[in-house]
Amino acid sequence: MLSLLGGIALLLVGYWVYGRYIEKNFQIEPDRQTPAEVLRDGMDFVPMPKWKNAIIELLNIAGTGPIFGPIMGALYGPIAYVWIVLGCIFAGAVHDYMIGMISLRNDGAHLPELASKYLGRPVRHVVNIFIMLLLMLVGTVFVTSPASLIADITPDFIGMGLITLLIFAYYIISTFLPIDKAMGKVYPWFGAILILSTLAMGIALIFGDHQIPNVTLANLKNVHPEGTPIFPALFFTISCGAMSGFHATQSPMVSRTITNEREGRFTFYGMMIAEGVIAMIWAAASMSLFDGQTLAEMINNGTPSLVVNQVSVMLLGNLFGTAAIMGVIVLPISSGLSAFRSLRNILADYIHFKQDKLRNVLILTLPIFAISFILTQVDFNLLWRYFNWANQVTAVIAMFVATRYLFLKNRNYWVTFIPGALMLYACVVYIASQPIGFNLGLGWLTYSLSLLASLAILAVFILSGRKQKEALDPYSFLLNDQLPIGQLAEMKQ
Band the pLDDT of 461: cuts 50, 70, 90.
very high
- At 445 the pLDDT is 93
211-231: string of b/e by CB count within 10 Å (b at 16+)?
A: ebbebeeeeeeebbeeeeebe
DSSP-based three-state secondary structure for 493:
coil
Candidates 273, 228, 274; CA nearest to 72 is 228
- Rounded to whole angstroms, the Cα distance separating 426 from 416 reads 16
Count of Cβ atoms closer than 10 Å to residue 388 Cβ = 26
DSSP-based three-state secondary structure for 183:
coil
> 136-145, 165-174, 441-450: which has the highest mean pLDDT?
441-450
CA–CA distances in Å: residue 63 to residues 345, 359, 382:
20, 29, 18
Burial class (CB in 10 A: 0-12, 13-18, 19+), 94: buried
Residue 352's contacts (CB-CB under 8 Å, 6 or more residues apart) are none
CB 32 within 8 A of CB 305: no
Q: What is the mean pLDDT of residues 73-77?
A: 89
- Rounded to whole angstroms, the Cα distance separating 235 from 225 reads 18
Handedness of CA 387, 276, 414, 446 (dihedral sign): negative
Condensed to tens digits (0 to 9), the pLDDT of residues 184-196 reads 788 888 788 878 8
pLDDT for 326 beyond 80: no
**Long-range CB contacts (< 8 A, 24+ apart) of 474-482?**
478/117, 478/118, 478/408, 479/408, 479/409, 481/29, 481/105, 481/409, 482/29
What's the mean per-residue pLDDT of the chain?
85
- At 259 the pLDDT is 95
Which helix (H) or strand (E) segment is 286 a member of? helix 271-289
- At 482 the pLDDT is 45
Q: What is the mean pLDDT of residues 239-257?
A: 89
DSSP label of 75: G
- Rounded to whole angstroms, the Cα distance separating 390 from 427 reads 9
More confident residue, 355 or 43: 43
H and E: helices and strands count for the chain: 23, 0
Condensed to tens digits (0 to 9), the pLDDT of residues 476-487 reads 767 666 444 444
CB 134 within 8 A of CB 387: yes
Q: What is the mean pLDDT of residues 39-47?
A: 87
DSSP-based three-state secondary structure for 429:
helix
Candidates 113, 106, 117, 128; CA nearest to 468 is 117
Candidates 319, 315, 68, 306; CA nearest to 210 is 315
pLDDT for 269 beyond 90: yes
Condensed to tens digits (0 to 9), the pLDDT of residues 376-427 reads 777 666 666 677 788 889 999 999 999 999 999 999 999 999 999 999 999 9
- Rounded to whole angstroms, the Cα distance separating 131 from 347 reads 10
157-161, 267-271, 327-331, 399-403, range with the lowest pLDDT = 327-331
pLDDT for 315 beyond 90: no
Condensed to tens digits (0 to 9), the pLDDT of residues 100-159 reads 999 999 999 889 889 988 998 888 788 888 888 888 877 887 787 778 778 777 777 777
Phi, psi (rounded to 5 degrees) for 412: -70, 100
97-101, 266-270, 292-296, 430-434, range with the lowest pLDDT = 292-296
- At 236 the pLDDT is 87
On the question of a cis peptide bond just before residue 232, with omega within 30 degrees of 0, the verdict is yes
- At 169 the pLDDT is 83
Domains parsed from the chain with CATH numbers: 2-394 (1.20.1740.10)
CB 62 within 8 A of CB 240: yes
- At 319 the pLDDT is 74
pLDDT for 73 beyond 60: yes
pLDDT for 176 beyond 80: no
- At 489 the pLDDT is 46
CB 271 within 8 A of CB 61: yes
- Rounded to whole angstroms, the Cα distance separating 282 from 237 reads 14
Band the pLDDT of 493: cuts 50, 70, 90.
very low
More confident residue, 58 or 60: 58
Amino acid found at 487: Q
Percent of the chain with pLDDT over 70: 93
- At 62 the pLDDT is 77
CB 187 within 8 A of CB 331: no
pLDDT for 4 beyond 60: yes
Maximum distance among all alpha carbons in the chain?
Answer: 67
- Rounded to whole angstroms, the Cα distance separating 321 from 285 reads 13
- At 385 the pLDDT is 67
pLDDT for 263 beyond 60: yes
pLDDT for 491 beyond 60: no
Amino acid found at 240: C
- Rounded to whole angstroms, the Cα distance separating 81 from 288 reads 13
